[in-house]
Amino acid sequence: MRTTRIVFSVLFLVQLSVTQAQDTLSQSTTRLRPDPYRLSWKTDATLMGLVGVAGVSSLLLEQQVQPFKVGDLSQFDRSQVNAFDRGATYKWSPGAFQLSDQTLTTNFVATGLIAVPTLFRHKNWATVPLMYIEVLALPTLIQQTVKNIALRTRPYVYNPDAPLDPKLAPNGRQSFFSGHAGTAFASAVFASEMFRHFYPNSKLKPVVWVVMLGLASTTSLMRYEAGYHFPSDILVGALFGSVAGWGIPKLHEVKRQSTLSQRLHIQPWNNGFATGINARLLVFSR
């Protein structure tokens, strides 16, 4: 029950931030700001091609992963783990595992609450959804491919207090790097960057960053507490996801002209009696 209250509180805070930003924007400007993103056949074909290659690679490599047998478990001694990561071998918590899924889902929903108003406002139904698919798919499929190549043993395999069943599943050999951390930070950075670009004058930008990164950090911490990932798994996942969450919108960002050249419109005119040049400078209220 407590977890549910926290989740709804976060979602309410994000929705309130977006609503206030929209109200402020509608009151302070008489013109709709241009859409900051644009799809590109070259960019999106390349990204979706990478998604496809990563997906096929992940699927093929997944079939090759052989789970540990009971006799293999005796070889795992936590003293073999480096000092930085060793603390994770003492962790095991099904509750933390469930909470990591819940906060990740909340992250997705919060991103949707930020994105949906921009879709209705700009009537551009393809750009943001496709970017978000790319932001989620690339870290997810690439990390799964890396997991199936690295075959790093999960921390709970070293923990004698953890149950036997998960140790004997193929998942027990897929620790590096953290998919939850990668996906959570990809979504969080994407949502925050999207809010920053659609509402550049909003005072709520820091709030959105804090809420979204807080959700991503909580997801990552719970994966550690659950015994599913070493700190190094999480750090690499968070870094990779953050790069994807920032880089994919950056690739789609519309390159604007200088502020003056964008707002200054010059055109010739003739009314039959005289000829001249008409210059208009568009002024946006802030």
Concatenate the DSSP letters of all residues of 22-71 into one string.
HHHHHHH-SSPPPPSB---HHHHHHHHHHHHHHHHHHHHHHTTPPPPPGG
Question: What is the mean pLDDT of the segment spanning 111-126?
Answer: 88
Instruction: Say if residues 80 and 153 touch (Cβ distance below 8 Å).
Output: no
Is a pLDDT exceeding 50 seen at residue 177? yes
Mean pLDDT over the full length of the chain: 85
Instruction: Say if residues 136 and 183 touch (Cβ distance below 8 Å).
Output: yes
pLDDT range class, residue 257, cuts 50, 70, 90: low
Is a pLDDT exceeding 50 seen at residue 189? yes
How far is it, in rounded angstroms, from Cα 199 to Cα 118?
A: 10
Is a pLDDT exceeding 80 seen at residue 3? no
Looking at residue 286, its pLDDT comes to 39
Looking at residue 183, its pLDDT comes to 97
pLDDT tens readout for residues 88-108: 999 999 999 999 999 999 999
pLDDT range class, residue 255, cuts 50, 70, 90: confident
Is a pLDDT exceeding 90 seen at residue 30? no
Looking at residue 198, its pLDDT comes to 92
Question: What is the mean pLDDT of the segment spanning 200-227?
Answer: 96
Looking at residue 25, its pLDDT comes to 44
Q: Which residues make Cβ contacts (< 8 Å) with residue 217, sequence separation at least 6?
A: none
Is a pLDDT exceeding 80 seen at residue 210? yes
Question: What is the mean pLDDT of the segment spanning 43-62?
Answer: 95
Q: Which of 68-82, 93-107, 244-258 has the least mean pLDDT?
A: 244-258
Two structure tokens written together for 246? 């920032």
Direct distance between the N- and C-terminal alpha carbons of the chain, in angstroms, rounded to an integer? 43
Looking at residue 122, its pLDDT comes to 78
- Alpha carbon of 231 to those of 17, 19, 93, 225: distances in Å? 32, 37, 16, 10
Domains of the chain, by residue range, sit at 2-257
For residue 194, the tally of other CB atoms under 10 A from its CB is 23
Is a pLDDT exceeding 90 seen at residue 275? no
Question: What is the mean pLDDT of the segment spanning 133-147?
Answer: 95
Burial class (CB in 10 A: 0-12, 13-18, 19+), 20: middle
Is a pLDDT exceeding 90 seen at residue 137? yes
